[in-house]
């Protein structure tokens, strides 16, 4: 075996084993993993009678503050120039997204306070889930 082929075999073996200096078997430690927010809001098929219906208006939601039970479904109606999204703050959920001109039903699977916003005009709404 030549030096060149021996070096290539060594590099290939090192790459296959992960090549790290740690003793974790190639698995990254918890500190290096991304901490993604878990959504507690799920898009579902709209039922005939949702717990609440929230519709965008020119400068507000028709129901800016609602209270529902955990597992209840809220129907969001976004008009042509009013996309709905999660409020960029602590009380939010990344699953609250309704593009302009669309209707979407969302089930809230955890208790808490969830804020949402018109992404164009910045008016807020809040859903409290008991």
CATH code for the domain of 70: 2.60.40.420
Whether 78 is covered by a domain: the verdict is yes
| Model pTM score | 0.70
Whether 112 is covered by a domain: the verdict is yes
Whether 33 is covered by a domain: the verdict is no
pLDDT tens digits, one per residue of 77-115? 999 999 999 998 777 888 999 999 999 999 999 999 999
CA distances from 24 to 21, 34, 37, 93, 118 (A): 9, 18, 25, 33, 46
Whether 99 is covered by a domain: the verdict is yes
Cβ-contact 116, 127 below 8 angstroms: yes
Whether 25 is covered by a domain: the verdict is no
Whether 56 is covered by a domain: the verdict is no
Distance from C-alpha of 70 to C-alpha of 82, rounded to nearest angstrom: 26
Question: What's the domain range around 84?
Answer: 65-129
**Reported confidence tier of residue 7, pLDDT bands at 50, 70, 90:** very low
Share of the chain above pLDDT 70, in %: 71
Number of domains in the chain: 1
Mean pLDDT of 32-42: 63
What's the confidence (pLDDT) of residue 17?
Answer: 44
Whether 34 is covered by a domain: the verdict is no
Whether 74 is covered by a domain: the verdict is yes
């Amino acid at each position: 075996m030549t030096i060149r082929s021996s070096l290539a075999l060594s590099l290939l073996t090192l790459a296959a084993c992960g090549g790290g200096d740690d003793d974790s078997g190639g698995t990254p430690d918890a500190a290096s993993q991304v901490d993604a927010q878990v959504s507690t809001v799920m898009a579902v098929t709209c039922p005939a009678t949702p717990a609440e219906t929230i519709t965008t208006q020119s400068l507000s939601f028709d129901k800016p503050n609602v209270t529902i039970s955990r597992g209840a479904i809220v129907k969001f109606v976004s008009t042509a120039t009013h996309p709905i999204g999660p409020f960029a703050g602590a009380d939010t959920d990344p699953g609250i997204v309704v593009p302009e001109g669309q209707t979407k039903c969302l089930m809230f699977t955890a208790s808490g306070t969830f804020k949402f916003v018109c992404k164009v005009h910045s008016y807020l709404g809040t859903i409290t889930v008991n």
